[in-house]
Amino acid sequence: MFEVLSTPAHIREWWNVETGWREKGWGVAQLEAEHHAHVIGWDLSIARLGDYLARVVSPS
């Protein structure tokens, strides 16, 4: 689910997702809708991060 940003390509991909919204050439409505969907995705991911880390870190 969560990928480590370990290579320059991963870092560039992450940076392009987190920045550059206005450079996509979208209209305001599409820009706002895409950004809203992106924020919701982060809200869901962050909410589940604690459980994921507990599974990864705790011994089985």
Domain-embedded: residue 4: no
Higher pLDDT pick, 40 / 1? 40
Q: How many domains does the chain have?
A: 1
Distance, CA of 7 to CA of 9 (rounded, Å): 5
Structure confidence at residue 4 (pLDDT):
55
**Amino acid code (one letter) for 54:** A
Confidence band (pLDDT; 50, 70, 90) for 60?
low
Lowest mean pLDDT: which of 24-28, 40-44, 46-50?
24-28
Question: Which of 35, 4, 28 has its CA nearest to residue 13?
Answer: 4
Residues 6 or more apart whose Cβ sits within 8 Å of residue 3: 10
Distance, CA of 47 to CA of 57 (rounded, Å): 17
Distance, CA of 14 to CA of 5 (rounded, Å): 8
Domain-embedded: residue 5: no
Confidence band (pLDDT; 50, 70, 90) for 1?
very low
- Give the domain range for residue 49: 25-60
2-39 residue pLDDT tens: 455 566 776 666 666 667 777 778 888 888 888 888 88
**Amino acid code (one letter) for 28:** V
